[in-house]
Amino acid sequence: MKLRQDLVVRPHKQLSLADRDPDDTLGLKKDDEGKRALAPTLARLDELQYLMYAEGRRALLVVLQGMDAAGKDGTIRHVITGLNPQGCRVTAFKAPSPDEAAHDFLWRIHQATPRKGDIAIFNRSHYEDVLVARVRRLVPKDVWSARYDQINRFEQLLSENGVMVVKVFLHISKDEQRRRLEERLRDPTKHWKLSASDFEDRKYWNDYVTAYEEALTRCSTEHAPWYIVPADRKWVRNLAVSRLLVETLEACDMKFPEPTLDVSRVKLK
């Protein structure tokens, strides 16, 4: 199963999220089947990360976006299991600090991009500046509407400099979001994750859908594609994201660099 072909948002083609099922199992029939498939996928991801680090020619940037409670934290927790933390960094983008707000909106983003050989994972990203900034009217329309092209140029710059950009929209239904938020309300150990905006933003659900559809449509490119991952089932979400990363890295045809010494002549005493 090649998920990249099935889940990609086709460039230049208008997207409707209503056409994508957030409860899709991607052909897997049972939870156990998906859970069994996750372990070897993570093992393969570990191998590929090591190879990418050794080769030192490219980097991988993974952008995670989704509605509140879509599972960005959970995805990171499970995918990180398959990665060496020495070569992986997670950045969570909150509301910009005064210093960040004093710069252009991509300034703080560029500082968190990965160096060659490494993987960076963004929990939310520069796309907040065409999502929440648009829905909550934090900036005028002429400002946020210009950012789509700016984002595309920025991601093209990264691609031209060896950074593979994989953008994942975790597609959750409104009913499943409600169930997860209610679960957090019942669980004292999850109260820390709650904020007033989680509940306030539900009032803007349709506005966010519209904003996401435009961002996914206008910013899915050959060099930085968007993938829509069904996220109502956590095991499907975890396996799909892991496989997307494996498929992306395998397509690079990476090779270990030549040794700097003749190992056949090394004699240990």
Give CA–CA dist 219/63, Å, rounded: 13
List the alpha helices (DSSP H) in the chain: 3-7, 31-55, 72-80, 98-101, 107-111, 132-135, 141-144, 147-160, 174-186, 196-200, 205-219, 234-250
Mean pLDDT of the chain: 94
pLDDT tens for 150-171 read 999 999 999 999 999 999 999 9
Lowest mean pLDDT among 7-11, 33-37, 123-127, 130-134: 33-37
**pLDDT-derived band of residue 34, with 50, 70 and 90 as boundaries?**
confident
Whether 235 and 39 have beta carbons less than 8 Å apart is answered as no
Given a cut of 80, whether residue 28 has pLDDT beyond it is no
Averaged over 252-257, what is the pLDDT?
94
Residue with tokens 């904003």, as numbered in its chain:
211
- In the chain, the percentage of residues whose pLDDT exceeds 70 is 99
Give CA–CA dist 155/198, Å, rounded: 29
Cα dist. 112→73, 106, 115, 121 in Å?
Answer: 18, 10, 9, 9
Give CA–CA dist 6/230, Å, rounded: 12
Q: Name the token pair of 256.
A: 């270990």
Domains of the chain (ranges plus CATH)? 3-252 (3.40.50.300)
**pLDDT-derived band of residue 1, with 50, 70 and 90 as boundaries?**
low
The reported pLDDT for the residue numbered 92 is 96
Identify which of 144, 120, 147 has the alpha carbon closest to the alpha carbon of residue 63.
120
Give 71's DSSP letter. Answer: S
Give CA–CA dist 132/218, Å, rounded: 17
Averaged over 166-179, what is the pLDDT?
97
Given a cut of 90, whether residue 148 has pLDDT beyond it is yes
Whether 66 and 209 have beta carbons less than 8 Å apart is answered as no
